A = this chain, B = another copy of it.
């Protein structure tokens, strides 16, 4: 939040009530919401706030490196916004409840190194998604049978 205000000021930007609200809501959502999902919540507290404002704010945050975006493999082909720490991290998505768990692993560097040695490319970033059932959903599907 401080971060956001600082960046706004340093480029002649303005802190509007809309930007503040969108940013706050985004940080409270621990999942990786779509623009529409952010809008749905934000809109309850500010009924006039328009979806296009949500997009514009999200894009500005993206450009500033305060959020990043992802596409998970899902039916509706929508972009998801990730407001957590900007360092590289990866995602597990539960295919039953859609819950997202973030993770990291030193093996990822091994993969990058191995691939670099094999092919001579320069790897700049990696994005890993794991899909499956979270512990809760496994339990539930067992119980249900």
Which residues between 79 and 128 of chain A lie within 8 Å of chain B, taking CB atoms? 79, 92, 94-95, 101, 103, 105, 107-108, 110-112, 114-115, 118-128
Q: Check A111 against B107 for contact (C-beta < 8 Å).
A: yes
- CB distance B121 to A134 under 8 Å? yes
Known contacts A77-B71, A92-B119, A105-B111: A133-B124 contact under CB 8 Å: yes
Q: Across the interface, do A103 and B115 meet the contact criterion of CB distance under 8 Å?
A: yes
A127 to B70, CA, bound (A): 13
How many A residues have CB within 8 A of the partner chain?
37
A-B residue pairs in contact (CB < 8 Å), sample of 26: A69-B73, A71-B77, A77-B79, A92-B119, A92-B121, A92-B123, A95-B124, A101-B121, A103-B119, A105-B110, A105-B111, A107-B108, A107-B110, A111-B111, A111-B130, A112-B130, A119-B135, A121-B134, A122-B132, A122-B138, A125-B131, A126-B128, A126-B130, A126-B131, A128-B128, A128-B129
| Chain B residues with CB under 8 A of A127 | 73, 128-131
Q: Is the CB of B135 within 8 A of A130?
A: no
The list of the 8 closest CB pairs from A to B, nearest first, reads: A120-B135, A71-B71, A124-B132, A123-B132, A107-B107, A127-B129, A107-B110, A122-B132
A132-B128 in contact given A71-B77, A77-B79, A92-B115 (Cβ < 8 Å): no
